[in-house]
Amino acid sequence: MKIDSTNLKNFIPENEIFAMLERTKNPAPARVRDIIAKSLAKNRLEPEEMAVLSNAEDPALIEEIFAAARELKEKVYGNRIVLFAPLYVGNKCINNCRYCGFRCSNTAVTRKTLTLPELDREVEALVSRGHKRLILVYGEHSEYDAQFIHDTVKEVYAQKHGNGEIRRVNINAAPLDVEGYHVVKSAGIGTYQIFQETYHQATYAAMHPSGPKKDFLWRLYGLDRAQEAGIDDIGLGALLGLFDWRFEIMALLHHTIHLEERFNVGPHTISFPRIEPALDTALCNQPPYAVSDADFKRLVAILRLAVPYTGLILTCREPVAIRNEVIRLGVSQIDAGSNIGVGAYAQEQDSDKRSQFVLNDGRPLDQVIRELCEADYIPSFCTGCYRLGRTGEHFMEFAVPGFVKRFCTPNAVLTFLEYLEDYASPETRTAGIQQIERELAKIPGDQKTTLLARIEQIKTGARDLYF
């Protein structure tokens, strides 16, 4: 049963954000550098400090922000990049969001919900390419209730193909009530992701003229209810281009602080997609607050400095050249080999008319992995922390002291080696083995001995080994 949202309070202080952005214009370089130093000490920033960074316009200061973001990412995450793919389960929707190709008034879209056999074929196609982590995406529709999400998640986990399987399923779906989240959690999901789209309430109202999504506060508190149901890995996001990016990233920080204060843990991930063209959706061609490439790079770096222990997700919405630049500014997760048409991975027809928007990076997973290695990243499909209970507040116990690299780098090596053994092209396998050798050279002796033993196990057929 839906909980009444009329008594909820908007915890995004709009007037305060605007006032902060106004009074921090033209910040002194010393002030900017002090804030950078605080972030490099792995401390979460306060909203006014984020406003200062957002208002730093001097090219030299912007470059210092970029350099700090690169350094902080290395301190917290190393050179690991986690890979996943989106899998759209159904595109039926009862909302009428002006920016979305799936809006209910869009008759140009071909509506489709995967049957379980069709879902199996999608998973088989993804597993056969090497994927082990998915995010399942659902429109907001009565067919896609908590039980439906639960059942599709269980179906995905049940699929085994050769040496491959999906080990972590994240969710991007409508906000649920607490009871619904309990049902979904019982399927063994990872992160539950809800994008507020825009945190500016008047803009939100204008963009959501009808459907359940028009209830700003019901959506805003969606992840509170997930936490109340015991889902302690949650993901925030804003759709950039609907309102001023400076306001949106500060609102993301306020949302983070709200969760920290109420549940003692912030979001596991933050996403920052830019609006892209969508079928028969005029607003997407001229977003009200289009974000330039230069500002996009700035906002990603500022987010990294503001929330040192939160994963930042960069998607295939962005062109390859921008992805290659932005990934260096603090990104920890990317999708690759993605196709967002419902049924598209299994080569079904008419997928363009089943897609929510247009992707700009169409490289196959194998190519993305090879190019990551050539840029000195270690690709990772690791799911060890989640399956050992290192989530939510427990994850922070490991992350804050800097222990993540003790688990994540070895686990990245092991899952990456699985990919190289089972799926990689000869060129990618060569580049990958060279990258693993570079990683091994950096790992301390005792840990390295154990890791080398597990590497040999994988080479002789063992799978799913992790620290």
The pLDDT tens digits for 217-240 are 999 999 999 999 999 999 999 999
Residue 419 pLDDT exceeds 70: yes
Q: How many domains does the chain have?
A: 3
Please give the residue range of the domain that contains residue 30: 15-72
pLDDT at 97 over 50: yes
Q: Is residue 194 situated within a structural domain?
A: yes
**CATH number, domain containing residue 354:** 3.20.20.70
What percentage of the chain reaches a pLDDT higher than 70? 94
- pLDDT of 436 > 70? The answer is yes
| pLDDT score of 91 more than 50 | yes
> How big is the CA angle at 12 (ends 11 and 16), to the nearest 5 degrees?
115
Is the same domain home to 381 and 414?
A: no
Report how far residue 294's alpha carbon sits from residue 366's, in angstroms, rounded to the nearest whole number.
29
The confidence score (pLDDT) of residue 90 equals: 97
pLDDT at 394 over 50: yes
Same-domain pairing of 290 and 226? yes
pLDDT at 3 over 60: no
Q: Are residues 425 and 296 in the same domain?
A: no
Provide mean pLDDT across the span 210-215. 97
pLDDT digits (tens, 9 = 90+) for 286-329: 999 999 999 999 999 999 999 999 999 999 999 999 999 999 99
Q: Is 465 part of any domain? A: no
252 and 213 together in one domain: yes
The larger pLDDT score, comparing residue 390 to residue 90, is at: 90
Residue 359 placed within a domain: yes
Please determine, for residue 156, whether its predicted confidence score (pLDDT) is greater than 90.
Answer: yes
136 and 248 share a domain? yes
Same structural domain, 237 and 305? yes
In a domain, 170, yes or no: yes
Please tell me the predicted confidence (pLDDT) of residue 138.
Answer: 98
pLDDT confidence of 400, banded at 50, 70, 90?
A: low
- Which of 31, 57, 72 is the endpoint of a domain? 72
**Section 447-466 average pLDDT:** 94
5, part of any domain: no
In this structure, is residue 8 part of a structural domain? no
Distance separating alpha carbons of residues 240 and 292, to the nearest angstrom: 10
Is the distance from CB of 203 to CB of 197 less than 8 angstroms? no
**Same structural domain for residues 90 and 128?**
yes
pLDDT score of 1 more than 50? no
Segment 170-190 shows an average pLDDT of 98
The residue-averaged pLDDT of 333-346 equals 95
Q: Is residue 208 part of a domain?
A: yes
Query: Among residues 25, 46, 72, which one ends one of the domains?
Result: 72
pLDDT (mean) for 347-368: 87
Do 347 and 227 fall within a single domain? yes
Average pLDDT (75-79) is: 91
Question: In the predicted model, what is the mean pLDDT of residues 318-342?
Answer: 97
Taking each helix axis as running N to C, give the angle between helix 178-185 and helix 146-158, from 0 to 180 degrees, rounded to the nearest 10: 10
Considering the domain architecture, whether residues 158 and 290 belong to the same structural domain is answered as yes
Confidence tier at 393 by pLDDT (50, 70, 90): low
What letter represents residue 94's amino acid? I
Q: Are residues 68 and 145 in the same domain?
A: no
Span of 32-46, 73-87, 297-311, 394-408 with lowest mean pLDDT: 394-408
Q: How far is the C-alpha of 189 from the C-alpha of 313, rounded, in Å?
A: 18
282 versus 5: which is more confidently predicted?
282
Mean pLDDT of 128-149: 98
pLDDT the model gives residue 347: 79
Question: What is the structure's pLDDT at 401?
Answer: 59
* Per-residue pLDDT at 396: 63
Does residue 391 register a pLDDT over 90?
A: no
Residues 82 and 64 in one domain: no
Q: Which residue, of 72, 94, 120, is where some domain finishes?
A: 72
Query: What would the pLDDT profile of 47-62 be if each residue is shown by its tens digit?
Result: 999 999 999 999 999 9
Please check whether residue 397 lies inside any domain of the structure. no
Same domain, 62 and 85: no
